[in-house]
Amino acid sequence: MKGQIWDTKPLEYWEKAKELRARWEKSGDRPDKVVGQGNTSFIVDWQQAFPAITVIEDNPRGSTIAAKNFKEARECRLASEIRGWGREICGYHGVFWGQQFLGRQPDGSPFAEREFVIPFPCVCDSHAKRGQQCRDFKPVPQWQNDMTMYLGELDERREAPMLDHRNYCLYKTINDLERIFGQKFDDEKMVEMIRAGKEIRKIRQEIFIYMTYKPAPLSVKELYSTYALGGLVKLPVQEALDFWRMVRDEVKWRAENKVAAVGTERYRWMEHHPPGYYFLKYYRYMEKYGAVCIGSQYTNFTFGALERKADGSIGARDVPDHPADMPIETREDELRYTTGADARALSSPTFKVDEYLRPYALNEFADVYGVDGALLSIWRSGVGCTLTRKEQARRLRKAGISVFHLEGNQGGDNTDYDEKRVIEQLDQWMESQGLRKFEE
C-alpha cells in the first residue's frame, strides 16, 4: 500500500543514553553504599543528597528483567508464587521479589540485601505491599509516607493540615535515615537538584511539544528507553542537564526537518500505561502498517504534561498554586517544594492523578497529539492499572478515537500472554481502520 514516505535517521544521542543507563545498573553494587528499596517520587531526588545511600526501585529492575531475560523472569515469578504471591500482584514486584528469594541478580552476582525500605505512597495498585515483603524477608526499617488527596474544589481548611502531614512524613524519614545510618543529608545538594529538576522539566516539555509534530520525531520506544534518565535512573546533576539538552536539540532538529521515527507514518496511536515489557516487538509490528505509538500517560503526562489553550495553541499545562518560584533556603522549603502546594495533587500532575481527578485526561492526550487510535490494556494484575479503563474507552470512542483492548497480566508478567493471539488481534484492529501492511 502506498503512502507518504518520510526521511529517517538513527538517533545521535542513543549511545550516550545506553552508557548512562548501563552505569546506573551497577550503581547499587558498591560495597560502601547503604542499599534501600523503594519507588517513590519523594525519594527520586533527595536520595542523591545522601552520598552513601542508594535506593533501588523495583519497577525499572522488574521490567528490565522481563524484557531481557525470559528464563530469569519466569524463575523469579515462580519463587514469588510458591511463597504465596499470586498473579494478582504487580508483575514488576513478582519478578523483583523473586530475585530476593533466589538471592541473585540476573548476572549471577549476589542479591544486594536491603537495609531499609520506603514504599511508594500511591493511591492504588500494590505499592504499599512492596515494603511489606522486603521487610518480612529481613527485619529492616520501613517508612510509609502517606499520599494525601481529596476530590473537588480547593478547600483551604483541608489543605494546610494535609500538606503539613505530607511534609512531616518526608521530614521524619530523612531525619531517621540520618540518625540510624549516620549519614548527613546534604541540603545544598538537594537545592542544586531541585533547580536542575526545574530546568529538566522545561526541556522535557519542549520535547513533547515537538512530539505533536507530524511526522513524530520519536516514538514511544525511544521515550521508554530514556524518560527515566535523570529521574528514577539517578545521574549527576550536570550530566543529566547536558543529556536532556542534547535530546531536546536533536528532537527539535528532527521535528523541523521532518525526520521521522517511523518513515511510513500514517496512523498515530497511544497507550495509557506501560506495555508488556516481555513483548515489546509489537511496536515494530505496528510500524509495518505505518502506525506509530506517540506515547502514553506514563511518559508524556508524567514528565511533560501539555494541554490545548483557549486560543487553540498547545503548551505546558497550567497548574494552579504550584510553588515553582518559591524561595528554597531551608530543608522545610526543599520538602514543601518536593511535595507540592496542593493536597489534591494537582500541583504535580501524573498519570495516576489524571485517572482519578481528570477523567477526560486521555481525551485531552488524544487531542494534543492528534492520535487516531488507543490501545488500552486490561491487566489481570495491578488493579490500579485497569481502573476506569472501560469508562475511558467509551469517552474516547465518543470523540471518534478507535480503541483496542489488550488482555494479559501487568507489564512484568507474561504468564497468561498469548503472543500469537495478540498479533492476530492487532491485524484485525488495523484492518478495521482500513490499513494493510506496506509489504502487502
Name all domains of the chain by residue range, CATH numbers in brackets: 27-188 (3.40.50.11890), 193-305+349-432 (no CATH)
Give the Cα separation of 144 and 151 in Å (integer): 22
Residue 329 CA: distances (Å) to CA of 197, 216, 324, 325, 338: 16, 41, 14, 12, 13
What are the grid coordinates assigned to 274, written together?
506501560
Using only C-alpha atoms, what is the Rg of the chain?
Answer: 22
Q: Which amino acid is at 152?
A: G
- C-alpha cell, 203: 526541556
Name the residue with higher pLDDT: 388 or 110. Answer: 110
Identify which has the larger pLDDT, 143 or 338. Answer: 143
Q: Distance between CA atoms of 209 and 217, rounded to whole angstroms?
A: 11
Dist. CA 229–CA 294, nearest whole Å: 19
pLDDT in tens, 246-305: 999 999 999 999 999 999 999 999 998 778 888 889 999 999 999 999 998 778 766 667
Average pLDDT over residues 393-410: 91
Cα separation, 57 vs 343, whole angstroms: 25
- pLDDT for 311-346, tens place per residue? 999 988 766 545 556 778 888 888 887 777 666 655
**89: which 3 cell numbers?**
500482584
Do the beta carbons of residue 382 and residue 125 sit within 8 Å?
A: yes
State the amino acid at position 237 in one-letter form.
V
Q: Residue 434: pLDDT above 90?
A: yes
Using CA atoms in the order 370, 218, 209, 438, what is the torsion angle rounded to 10 degrees? Answer: -20
Higher pLDDT, 347 or 37: 37
Using the predicted structure, report yes or no on whether residue 225 has a pLDDT greater than 90.
no
Spatial contact of 36 and 56, defined as CB atoms under 8 Å apart: yes
Q: What is the pLDDT of residue 267?
A: 97
Cell of 84: 504465596
Q: What is the 3-state secondary structure (H, E, C) of 367-433?
A: HHHCCCEEEEEEECCCHHHCCCHHHHHHHHHHCCCEEEEEEECCCCCCCCCCHHHHHHHHHHHHHHC
Residue showing cell 521487610: 135
Nearest to 23 by CA among 217, 234, 268: 234
C-alpha–C-alpha distance, residues 134 and 58, integer Å: 11
Question: What integer pLDDT is reported at residue 344 of this predicted model?
Answer: 64
pLDDT of residue 192: 85
Question: Residue 144 pLDDT more than 70?
Answer: yes
Highest mean pLDDT among 9-18, 195-204, 231-240, 355-364 belongs to 9-18
Mean pLDDT of the chain: 83
Of 43-47, 108-112, 251-255, the range with the lowest mean pLDDT is 43-47
**Considering the chain, what percentage of its residues have pLDDT values greater than 90?**
33
Coil, strand or helix at 52 = coil
Report the pLDDT value the prediction gives residue 352, as an integer from 0 to 100: 59
Q: Are 54 and 35 in contact (CB under 8 A)?
A: yes
Q: Which of 17-21, 55-59, 206-210, 332-336 has the lowest mean pLDDT?
A: 55-59
How many other C-beta atoms are found inside a 10 Å radius of the C-beta of residue 86?
9
pLDDT of amino acid 58 = 78
Check: CB of residue 323 under 8 Å from CB of residue 340: yes
| β-pairing verdict for 116-118 and 402-408 | unpaired
Does the global pTM surpass 0.85? yes
User: Are the CB atoms for 277 and 66 separated by under 8 Å?
Assistant: yes
CB 174 within 8 A of CB 145: no
| Average pLDDT for 363-379 | 92
| Cell numbers that stand for 303 in this block | 514528565
**pLDDT at 180 > cutoff 50:** yes
Cell, residue 202? 522545561
**Residues 6+ away with beta carbon under 8 Å from 431:** none
Q: Residue 238, class by beta-carbon neighbours within 10 Å (0-12 exposed, 13-18 middle, 19+ buried)?
A: exposed
Distance of CA 74 to the CA centre of its chain: 23
Over residues 180-187, the mean pLDDT reads 90
Taking the mean position of all CA atoms in its chain, how far away is CA 380?
20
pLDDT at 366 over 80: yes
- Which has the closest alpha carbon to 43: 196, 168, 190, 164? 190
Mean pLDDT of 211-217: 95
Classify the C-alpha dihedral 286-291-297-299 as positive or negative: positive
Q: Whose CA is closest to 411, among 107, 144, 91?
A: 91
